[in-house]
Amino acid sequence: MTEGGDPTGFAFDSLTCTATGTGSSGSQDGTIPKQANITVAGGGVVTCVYVNKQQLGAIKVTKTSSKGGGGLAGAQFSVTGPNSFSTTLTTGADGAACVDNLPFGDYTVTETQAPNGYAIDDPSGHSVTVDNNAKCSDNPYVGESTSFTDTPLADIQVRFRDGGSQATHLDGSISCDNATGTSSDADTTGWDDTHTVTGIKVNGKITITCTIPVDP
């Protein structure tokens, strides 16, 4: 007796046989692991048990900075998959996070929160197919991997006030040309006008030009 192909997501693990009755026997073949060699005598019973072990994989997520490539801690990800599977991962000091004991199938990894001071570069879900038996603790790691980058952010603030002569003033509004940030004209105590831009993406050297129309 020989077992055929493994069920999806499972692999052959072991084969054992027991026999009752004189002249009956059963055992695993020495060359073909899935084959049971059976002899049944009159009135005898041979029972063979095949064990298939579920194959479980792992997904490692890596988060790095788009400026310099260093690992980023504190990024959060959602991982969803078959049979309503859902979990949340947070990257550690090395910029990595891992989940294992995953049944084979298709999963989606999505960054949901960037580390403090960074912006998510790719908010779309990354499709990952788990089809390799692995654990997060494997060394070397042999499971599935996916990577994301985040861009560091900067804030700027430009202020104007008369120097004490009462003879200078703004002839319009302060403006800055960086389109990646969020602008605010909220006032600052003690200043005639304030213009703030927060969340400016800094992926390499950038130049920001601010215009302050002063009419003395």
| Claim to verify: residue 35 and residue 60 sit in the same structural domain | no
Let me know if residue 5 belongs to a domain. Answer: no
**Residues near 3 by beta carbon (within 8 Å), at least 6 away in sequence:** 12, 15, 34, 50
Q: What pLDDT does residue 204 have?
A: 84
| Claim to verify: residue 84 and residue 124 sit in the same structural domain | yes
- SS3 state at 98: strand
Q: What pLDDT does residue 192 have?
A: 94
Q: What pLDDT does residue 6 have?
A: 85
| Claim to verify: residue 60 and residue 145 sit in the same structural domain | yes
- Kindly state the tokens that stand for 106: 């298709």
| Claim to verify: residue 122 and residue 134 sit in the same structural domain | yes
| Claim to verify: residue 121 and residue 141 sit in the same structural domain | yes
d(CA 216, CA 203): 38
| Claim to verify: residue 168 and residue 206 sit in the same structural domain | yes
Let me know if residue 89 belongs to a domain. Answer: yes
Give the total number of structural domains in the chain: 3
Whether 141 shows a pLDDT value over 80: the answer reads yes
Phi, psi at residue 84, to the nearest 5°?
60, 25
Binned at pLDDT 50, 70 and 90, residue 148 comes out as very high
Domain limits at 33? Answer: 10-54
What integer best gives the mean pLDDT of the chain? Answer: 94
| Claim to verify: residue 142 and residue 167 sit in the same structural domain | no
| Claim to verify: residue 106 and residue 44 sit in the same structural domain | no
Domain's final residue, options 105, 123, 151: 151
Query: Which residue carries 């078959």 as its tokens?
Result: 82
Let me know if residue 123 belongs to a domain. Answer: yes
Let me know if residue 1 belongs to a domain. Answer: no
